[in-house]
Structure 1
Amino acid sequence: MSAIEKSWYQPKSLLTFLLLPFSILFWVISTLRRLSFKLGLSQSFRAHVPVIVVGNIGIGGNGKTPFVLWLVPYLQSLGIKVAVISRGYGSKAPYYPYLVTRDSAVEEVGDEPFLLASRLDCPIVIGSDRQASCELIKARFNVDVIISDDGLQHYKMHRDIELCIVDSQRRFGNGCLIPAGPLRELPTRLNSVDLVIENGAGAMLSYTLAQSGIYRVVDNKLVQQYPQQGVAVSAIGNPQRFENSLSELGIEIVKTRHFRDHYAYGVDDFTEYNDLALFMTEKDAVKCQAFAKDNWYYLRVDAKPTEALQLSIKHILKQKEIHHGV
């Protein structure tokens, strides 16, 4: 994590105030862009089926992916046929839009889309042109709704429901827009979304990340016996939450190693650890499976929403008339 990123979650410092002019410029540009879509000066598109955006107003580490991993099967349990689109940050697909499957190479499609495809039974399409992704889904699949993993600020895309994820621990950092702070939009944006959902216990509309076991990276098998100490390695937005979860399982963390979010691991990144056991997140593990050792493990977590959140989502679906056979 860079010095600038660390400053986002600390009291405002000299660095914060030095960066504020750039944040003001960012606000002016983003406000004008949003206004141009609102006034019809810029063209937006509407998909052939309703779109649910799962996004946030900050940069990374808010827990969108576990929530999408819960939301898709929840909608399917209601009889709703779902597809997911994602920008595919860090992907290197041969062309776009690109259909992600369990047989895709993680290096081509990106860590989060690969994880979604490995855990979900629905079409996953990546590409920065979300309209093209929606059109591919229209041409090849019969679905009732499209979930956009991120894209809250992609105003070119009409959305029917906006779900905004907020990290209950880090909240909005120092409250400043980037680069002085972690926000892409001001907290007032939350007044216009359909649901503000907290990642963490406490709020009525929230979910917790429940530990679902330790798995071996090399073969994705659940293990009952694992080392009680090792190195915690992560390339995620909020590594502290992951490391706390390991400690709760009684694992002594002898060393931590943090890489930037979505970092593309290579075997050379782990040479210094020799025979020490490594513990990582599931998102990290999908990028390391090809060269993993037997004593590398990952912690699987699953979103556990409150009953109030489930009822609120069901109510909004009914309100927006999103159901099977839309």
Structure 2
Amino acid sequence: MVDRLWYGEGRPLWLLWPLAWLYRWIARRRREAYLSGRRDVSRPPIPVVVVGNITAGGTGKSPLTLAIVAHLKKQGWRPAIVSRGYGGKSDHYPLEVCASTAAHLSGDEPLMLARQGGVRVVVDPKRARGAQWAYDNNLADILVCDDGLQHYALGRDLEIAVFDGGRGLGNGAPIPVGPLREPVERLARVDAVVINGVGKLAQLDHPQCQTMQMEPYRLVNLKTGENRPLDWLSGIAVTAVAGIGNPARFFDTLRSLGAEVQERPLGDHHAFKADDLRHPANQPLVMTAKDAVKCGDFADVDCWSLEVRAALPDAFWTMFDRRLAELQLPRAARP
């Protein structure tokens, strides 16, 4: 798995440096084209919050998106989520996602966001088009874009960059030698840096750098919808399946809850089949909520999803609310 090469200590893919420099050069030229006005930046006349990262792989963007949506609802906003819909293939876009949408149309993350967030979710590979459609159809008075930091065609008012604290910046090299989509200097323009857990990111110097903790809160049966408390896992052996960007984090979470874990890591956005859910008789299988939305049709009664939520310090929400309040002033064009 390439993640193991990117997030190790060395740079074993150093022979690909010419491609890495080409990738960085193209990314920089593309961004400069939007910043300079050579390429059009568009957005609807409502606030846009972008949650993303500068590294490839899972960092916790979707749980943070759900936490932001929940906070906005409590503050009286009417949020909607805009997503690219990675892994989905619809015959039309924009696509509004609801709890019954097929995962192969929407992608796994948008379906999970729709089911857990209780808000409208719009999928479109052209996020700016999806955002405008959400506004035109009066779906929201504020938009949260999940994984859109590099989608510069969509203008934004707040940017939040998320990192996995355990994996950090990896080997610090650009794709394909390392995991960086953009250089670390890009963080100077974001409003906040959120670190998922503790670990390797003490070197990041940002005035709004906050730690996010992932809190498991329930187990849900894929077949029956039954909920069970977390202490049900204590002392039992489980088969753990994860088709996410960082499966090790999921497995460690299960162990922290007392489970004896037999790991089965799969690739991010894995296209699940019935055989992927095989497990010994009388031994439950546990997966992430993102994976579970793709498996309901062929899961058995011993298949469960572990649902988690993001917890952030008050300082983050104070900053977030202050920035939203400032948007009552005339907004500068900011891609």
TM-score in terms of structure 2 length: 0.90
Shift, 1:160, TM fit: 0.9
Q: Does 1:287 align with 2:272?
A: no
Q: How does 1:1-326 map to 2 (within 5 A)?
A: 2=1, 4-13=2-11, 15-201=12-198, 205-224=210-229, 225=232, 228-253=236-261, 255-271=262-278, 273=280, 276-321=283-328
* Number of corresponding residues: 318
Shift, 1:256, TM fit: 1.2
Instruction: Map Cα deviations across residues 56-87 of structure 1 (whole Å, 9 max, x no partner).
Output: 00112100011111110101111111111000
Other structure's SS at 1:290 match: coil
> Matched residues in 2 for 1:272 and 1:244: separation?
19
Other structure's SS at 1:297 match: strand
Shift, 1:168, TM fit: 1.3
Instruction: Map Cα deviations across residues 77-136 of structure 1 (whole Å, 9 max, x no partner).
Output: 111111110000011223111000112112211111001111122211001112221222
The amino acid of 1:270's aligned partner reads L
Instruction: Map Cα deviations across residues 290-312 of structure 1 (whole Å, 9 max, x no partner).
Output: 11111111211111111111111
The amino acid of 2:9's aligned partner reads P
> Matched residues in 1 for 2:283 and 2:36: separation?
58
> Matched residues in 2 for 1:134 and 1:248: separation?
39
What percentage of aligned pairs have identical amino acids? 35
Q: Is the 8 A contact 2:219 2:227 kept in 1?
A: yes
Instruction: Map Cα deviations across residues 213-255 of structure 1 (whole Å, 9 max, x no partner).
Output: 22222123212445810211100111111111111111101x2
> Matched residues in 2 for 1:272 and 1:217: separation?
15
> Matched residues in 2 for 1:181 and 1:201: separation?
21
The amino acid of 1:210's aligned partner reads E
| Structure 1: gaps (5+ residues) | none
Instruction: Map Cα deviations across residues 16-50 of structure 1 (whole Å, 9 max, x no partner).
Output: 31121111010111111111112211122122212
Shift, 1:274, TM fit: 5.6
Q: 1:60 to 1:220 in 2, by over 3 A?
A: farther
The amino acid of 2:193's aligned partner reads V
| Structure 2: gaps (5+ residues) | 203-208, 330-335
Q: Is the 8 A contact 2:135 2:141 kept in 1?
A: no
The amino acid of 1:211's aligned partner reads P
